[in-house]
Amino acid sequence: MCLALAVSASASADTIVLKNGRRIVAENVIDDGARVTYQTPAGQLTIPKSIVERIEHDDFVYSPASSASSQPLVSAPKVEPVRGYEDVVTRAVHDDAVDYSYIAQLETEARSGTTIAVAKVAAAHHAAAQFLVSKGDTDAAIQQYRQALVFAPQNVGLLLNLAVLYLRESQFTGALDPLDRARRAAPDSADVAKLTGWAYYGANKIDQAIAEWQRAERLRPDPEVEQALEKAERDKSEEESYREGETIHFDLKYYGGAAPDLARGILRVLEDDFRDLESQLDYTPPEKIAVILYTEQAFADITRAPGWVGALNDGRLLIPVQGLTTVTPELAHVLKHELTHSFVGQKSHNRAPTWLQEGVAQWMEGRRSAADAGALINAAGQGMAPPLGAMGGSWMGLSGNSAAFAYAWSLAVVESIIDAGGVSDISRLLDRIATESSVEDALRETLHLSYDDLNQQTVAYLKRIYLR
Ligand SMILES: [Zn+2]
CA 256 to ligand 1 centroid distance, Å: 25
C-alpha 322 to ligand 1 mean position (Å): 19
Residue 4: which residues within 8 A CB-CB, separation 6 or more?
none
Cα–ligand 1 centroid distance for 310 (angstroms):
7
pLDDT at 257 over 80: no
Longest dimension (CA), the chain: 108
**Separate counts of helices (H) and strands (E) for the chain:** 19, 10
Residue 152 makes CB contacts below 8 A (sequence gap 6+) with: 81, 118, 119, 121, 122, 158
Average pLDDT on 246-261 reads: 75
Task: Give the lowest-confidence range in 153-157, 313-317, 415-419.
Answer: 313-317
CA of 361 to the centre of ligand 1 (A): 6
What share of the chain has pLDDT > 90, as a percent? 53
Question: 19 with 53: CB under 8 angstroms?
Answer: yes
CA 382 to centroid of ligand 1, rounded, Å = 27
Specify the pLDDT at position 325.
Answer: 81
CA of 358 to the centre of ligand 1 (A): 5
Distance between Cα 351 and ligand 1 center (Å): 15
- Residue 396 C-alpha to ligand 1 middle, in angstroms? 12
Average pLDDT over residues 133-154: 92
What is the band of 378 on the pLDDT scale with cuts at 50, 70, 90? very high
Residues 382-395: tens digit of each pLDDT = 999 989 999 998 87
Cα of 3 from ligand 1 centre, angstroms? 28
Q: Confidence band (pLDDT; 50, 70, 90) for 201?
A: confident
Separation of CA 434 and ligand 1 centre (Å): 19
Per-residue model confidence (pLDDT) at position 313: 52
Gap between the Cα atoms of 156 and 122, Å rounded: 11
Cα(309) to centroid(ligand 1), Å? 6
| Cα 305 to ligand 1 centre (Å) | 9
Query: Which chain residues have CB less than 5 Å from ligand 1, an ion?
Result: 301, 358, 361
Q: Identify the band that residue 37 occupies on the pLDDT scale cut at 50, 70 and 90.
A: low
Measured in angstroms, how far is the CA atom of residue 340 from the centroid of ligand 1?
8
Residue 300 CA to ligand 1 center (angstroms) comes to 8
Q: Is pLDDT of 13 > 60?
A: no
Dihedral of alpha carbons 350, 355, 358, 359, sign: negative
Say how many Å lie between the CA of residue 194 and the centre of ligand 1.
52
CA of 88 from ligand 1 middle (Å) equals 76
If you measure from the C-alpha of residue 349 to the centroid of ligand 1, how many angstroms do you get, rounded to a whole number? 17
**Centroid of ligand 1 to alpha carbon of 356 (angstroms):** 10
Distance 350 CA to ligand 1 centre (A): 14
CA 270 to centroid of ligand 1, rounded, Å: 16
Question: Pairing relation of β-strands 93-94 and 52-61?
Answer: unpaired
> Average pLDDT of 48-53?
64
pLDDT classification of 70: cutoffs 50, 70, 90: very low
Residue 178 C-alpha to ligand 1 middle, in angstroms?
56
pLDDT at 113: 80
DSSP code string of 144-184? HHHHHHHH-TT-HHHHHHHHHHHHHTT-HHHHHHHHHHHHH
**Is the model more confident about 237 or about 82?**
82
First to last CA, the chain: 59
pLDDT given for residue 14 in this prediction: 67
pLDDT over threshold 90, residue 107? yes
Q: What is the pLDDT of residue 247?
A: 85
Residue environment code for 251-271, b if the CB has 16+ CB neighbours within 10 A, otherwise e? ebbbbbebbeebbbbbbebbe
User: What is d(CA 241, CA 458) in angstroms, rounded to the nearest whole number?
Assistant: 46
Q: For residues 138 and 89, give the distance between their C-alpha atoms in angstroms, rounded to a whole number.
A: 19
The secondary structure of 385-396, three-state, reads CCCHHHCCCCCC
pLDDT of residue 105: 95
CA of 149 to the centre of ligand 1 (A): 65
What separation in Å is there between the alpha carbon of 55 and the centre of ligand 1? 25
Task: Quick: pLDDT tens for 287-336.
Answer: 888 887 765 444 444 334 433 333 345 567 877 777 778 898 988 998 99
Question: Where does residue 290 fall: left (phi above 0), alpha (psi -120 to 50 degrees), or beta otherwise?
Answer: beta
Kindly tell me if the per-residue pLDDT of 9 is higher than 50. no
